[in-house]
Amino acid sequence: MTTKEQKPPKDTQAYVLTKSAIDSTTETKHIHQFNENAIRHTVSLSDIVGLTKFGLHLVRVEAGDETTTHHYHEESDEFIYMLSGELSLRYGDEQYQLSAGDFVGFPAHGAPHSMRNDSDADATYLMGGNRPPIDITLYPDIKRKMYNIHGEKEYVDLEDLGEVWKEC
Residue bearing the bigger pLDDT, 11 or 57: 57
Q: What are phi and psi of 126, to 5 degrees?
A: -95, 135
Is 57:127 a contact under the CB 8 Å cutoff?
A: yes
Q: Is pLDDT of 155 > 70?
A: yes
Query: What is the average pLDDT score of the chain?
Result: 93
Segments in the chain forming alpha helices (H)? 19-23, 45-48
Q: Is pLDDT of 167 > 80?
A: no
- d(C-alpha 127, C-alpha 8), whole Å: 24
Q: Is pLDDT of 1 > 80?
A: no
Tell me the three state secondary structure of residue 13: helix
Q: Is pLDDT of 3 > 60?
A: no
End-to-end CA distance of the chain: 39
- d(C-alpha 58, C-alpha 142), whole Å: 27
Question: pTM for the whole thing?
Answer: 0.88
Nearest 5°: the CA angle 139, 143, 144 is 60
Nearest 5°: the CA angle 71, 72, 74 is 145
